Structure 1
Amino acid sequence: MPLRRLVACLSACLLCAHAATDEVPLVRLDHVPVAVRHLEQASQDYRALGFTLKPGRAHGDGLRNAHVKFTNGAGLELITVDKPQGELARHYAGWLRAGEGPAYLTLHAADEPRAAAALRAAGIAHRLGPEGLTLDDPQLAWLFFAADNRSPSDRPAHFAHINGAVATREVWVALDDGAALARLLTALGARSHDEARTAPFAARARVYELAAGGRVVVVPARHQVVPGHPVIGVVMAAPSAPARVWPPSQTHGLWLTLQPGP
């Protein structure tokens, strides 16, 4: 093969490899904080659904929590507030006056500087500081980035859920104007498509594919469990269990689905 042609072929291969790397989403699903009025009762109810809970702790601002954990760092955080002492605790107290349920969608970026660069290139307002990556768009106030949710105190028993759940696969969001979310996730490498979904309920959805097999599923705002609260559901992988759907009345405010398969 002539040298010029060989160089051209190698250059093309390098460009293709670079493009493939760039297509890998920069974020994955992390935990979903679920605001509950009575942590002890909610914990008991989740154990009755077959989840193992890792006890949390009392925070200085009045928040208390317990965790449904998976090995990849995703899961649920049941969280309540007794006597709110700080801005975040007061936010949860206000949230609970409207009703129980998911307060946020949490994402994790393994490489926050690279994610910040992607947001900057897309013109999305954000800050990257000692506390991590923060979004400045008020339309996305229900979404935040977190450090890895895995902890040195996690034990194998914390991941052993008798209902068979092993991972969070999807977080469902109900919005009529999803432009800000679409812009964010697309900038971070997510690919999307439209899909007809049947569980936890029938809906036409926009599905965003994230890293590690996670998805954000966007449906119309009429499906909000509590008006004004966008995050409405979580789908969990349960390879060895039958399909199961629990309505918000059983889960303290969210659609919760067990889905067979990896």
Structure 2
Amino acid sequence: MKFIGKITSLLLILLVGFPLILQGQKARIDHVITVVSNLEKKVGDYTANGFTIRKGKLHANGLINAHIKFDNSSSFELMSIEGKATDPMALEYESLLNEGEGGVYLVMTGFKTESVISLLDKFTIEYEVIKGKLWSYVTFPSDSDLAHLFFIEYHFDQKDPQDILTHQNGIERISSVVIEGNKSVIDFLKNIGLKHSGQISDPGFGIGTEFETQTGNIIIVPQKNPNARPRVRSIILKNITGTKSIRLPLE
């Protein structure tokens, strides 16, 4: 079911209700999604670099995926198309892949779906809600400043076996995710209650704005192409102590 309000600048968002701020303090990076043209090759590359891969199945809509999962319930998802895309979700991923391989979504959890909806309704921001038995999504249109973000609320606890979560290269968690965004995105993350850490100098992208979550930080950097849909630029993975780090460019 799609809920459409008048599209208003996100700069109008100046405050949120106390309950959503409290949820923001519990916010987590759930997963990062990148689109790839050759899933088998990418799986081979990541396996060769010491990652354990949980392979997905070919879905009826033409989507096929694979996951790199971590013990804190965060993950990195590789998404591809095999055969013909047959529904709106698969067609959206196909369109993103046609624009180029790379990071397309940062997915956050820790928020109640109804609280997110209330905020978006208050500021007449266009969004879509997809409700299922296992989880609910809140997503944004492709022309939105928030197009590369979505929220997921799980209705049941899900835990993977430890052998899937253990990687030969010692990597154990997402440390940071670098995403494109303007002041509207920065204001939105502030207003959903994420802790704002201030400015940070990113070695790959220059000055960025950093936010903290329980499962890694989010760094906002200027868009490479302001006329294109914003994307996820990079993901930084580390071991628990932070002594080992791997940076994965997603472009």
- TM-score tier (shorter): 0.7 to 0.9
Q: Give distance in 2, aligned partners of 1:163 and 1:123.
A: 46
CA distance in 2, matches of 1:85, 1:127: 19
Alignment gaps of 5+ in structure 2: 1-17
**Normalization by structure 2: what TM-score?**
0.76
In the superposition, relative to structure 1, how do residues 95 and 202 fare at CA in structure 2: closer, same or farther (>3 Å)? closer
Change (3 A) 1:178 1:22: closer
Tell me the residue number matched to 2:3: none
The one-letter code sitting in structure 2 at the alignment partner of 1:33 is I
Q: Which residue is equivalent to 2:195?
A: 191
Could you tell me which amino acid in structure 2 is paired with residue 170 of structure 1?
A: S
Q: How far did residue 110 of structure 1 move?
A: 4.5
Matches of 1:150 and 1:232 in 2, distance apart? 31
The structural deviation recorded for 1:47 is: 0.8
Q: Hey, what does 1:14 align to over in structure 2?
A: none
Cα deviations by residue, 1:178-225 (Å, 9 ceiling, x for unpaired): 31x2232222111324323244x2511111223x1532101122399x
Task: Tell me the distance in 2 between the aligned counterparts of 1:98 and 1:21.
Answer: 34
Q: C-alpha deviations, 1:131-167, integer Å up to 9, x for none?
A: 4342456412221112349975721000001122212
**SS of alignment partner, residue 221 of structure 1:** coil
1:230 equivalent to 2:234? Answer: no
CA distance, structure 1, for counterparts of residue 130 and residue 66 of structure 2: 28
Distance 1:165 1:148, change over 3 A: farther
Q: State yes or no: 1:145 paired with 2:151.
A: yes
SS of residue matched to 1:114: helix
Question: Does the CA-based 8 Å contact 1:65-1:77 persist in structure 2?
Answer: yes
Partner of 2:178: 172
| Residue 37 of structure 1: how far off its partner (Å) | 0.8
Name the aligned partner's letter for residue 183 of structure 2. Answer: G
Aligned-pair CA distance for 1:236: 1.9
| Cα 1:243/1:197, change in 2 over 3 Å | farther
How many residues align? The count is: 227
User: Which SS does the other structure have where 2:153 is aligned?
Assistant: coil
Percent identity of equivalent pairs: 23
Q: Over residues 61-91 of structure 1, what are the superposed CA-to-partner deviations in whole Å (9 max), with x where a residue is unaligned?
A: 0011111011222111111101211112122
CA contact (8 A) 2:200 2:208 kept: yes
**Match of 2:60, as an amino acid?**
G
- The 5 Å alignment of 1:209-228 reads 209-210=212-213, 212-222=214-224, 228=229
Return the letter of the residue paired with 1:214: G
Matches within 5 A, 1:1-262: 22-23=21-22, 25=24, 26-83=26-83, 84-121=85-122, 124-126=125-127, 130-131=131-132, 132-136=136-140, 138-139=143-144, 140-148=146-154, 152=158, 154-175=160-181, 177-179=182-184, 181-199=185-203, 201=204, 203-210=206-213, 212-222=214-224, 228-239=229-240, 242-246=243-247, 248=249, 253-254=250-251
Q: Which has the higher helix share?
A: 1
Please state whether the residue corresponding to 1:41 is helix, strand or coil. helix
Distance change (3 Å), C-alpha of 1:136 and 1:242: closer
Structure 2: how far apart are the matches of 1:105 and 1:46?
Answer: 20
Q: Indicate conservation of the 8 Å contact 2:236/2:245, yes or no.
A: no
Larger displacement relative to structure 2 (136-145 or 166-175): 136-145
The alpha-carbon deviation at position 103 of structure 1 amounts to 1.6
Which of structures 1 and 2 has the bigger CA Rg? 1
What SS does the corresponding residue of 1:103 show, helix, strand or coil? strand
Q: Which has the higher contact order (CA 8 A, sep 6+)?
A: 2
Distance 1:103 1:222, change over 3 A: closer
Aligned-residue RMSD, C-alpha: 3.1
